[in-house]
Chain A
């Protein structure tokens, strides 16, 4: 069955960096687009970034553009999110999510999430 397992969350100071990982299994990872979606404590869902199945296209929410970088290693079935210049408002649970196709559409599988806390 499809499994997505995030890791790398934790507490980081404002201005700091963190890299999240998402290990995928149970499907042909290299055939699907992948996303990061976040949810601040007690708030709604916010799409963060998308990467096409082969890494050829990447899209970002305006709130993270220029600070976050999405990438993938299809040989390791792993998705990444490099987060730099972190701000308090980046505090959230970060989910990786699988797209139903190779492009950016909607999400049929989600991980359990990893919490990122930006605080001094």
Chain B
């Protein structure tokens, strides 16, 4: 199965900071990558699909980039509601996989 490695596993940031999370695939997956946000006790929420397409209703401060094996999720100006855990997920193969997650905490 394709493995996804997210980094960092956690980070502390302040409101207004620019935050970047990376996701590296163990083999090339073209642009078959999605990003999700999960808050405690809640189901994940789709943010980005096809590596860089913004899901409807998601604020424009979220953006995704990358293709092949290296991907990034960027939050341009962190807001209080953005403190959560973020996961990447690949759909290049039928054995779907998630990254280990990145917890974004308040500094």
Q: What is A's interface to B at a CB cutoff of 8 Å? A: 35, 44-47, 50, 59, 61-62, 95, 100, 104-108, 110-113
> Other CB < 8 Å A-B pairs besides A47-B96, A50-B94, A95-B44, 13 of them?
A44-B100, A45-B87, A45-B89, A45-B98, A45-B101, A46-B98, A47-B89, A47-B98, A62-B95, A106-B89, A107-B46, A110-B43, A110-B45
In the complex, how many residues of chain B place their beta carbon closer than 8 angstroms to a beta carbon of chain A?
22
A90 to B17, CA, bound (A): 38
Q: Tell me what chain B mostly uses at the interface: helix, strand, loop, or mixed.
A: loop
- The 8 Å CB contact of A50, one of B38, B43, B96, is B96
| Closest partner residue, chain B, to A104 (CB atom) | B94
Supply 23 A–B pairs (Cβ within 8 Å), ascending by A: A44-B98, A44-B99, A44-B101, A45-B36, A45-B44, A45-B89, A45-B98, A45-B101, A47-B97, A50-B94, A61-B1, A62-B95, A95-B44, A104-B96, A105-B32, A106-B46, A106-B49, A106-B89, A107-B46, A108-B46, A108-B55, A110-B43, A110-B44
Residues of B within 8 A of A35 (CB): 96
B34 CB–A CB distance under 8 Å: yes
B35's nearest neighbour on chain A, judged by CB, is A106
Chain B residue at minimum C-beta to C-beta distance from A58:
B94
In the assembled complex, B91 has its CB within 8 A of some CB on chain A: yes
Q: What residue in chain A is nearest B94 (Cβ atoms)? A: A59
Chain B 24-44 interface residues, beta-carbon cutoff 8 Å to A: 32, 34, 36, 38, 43-44
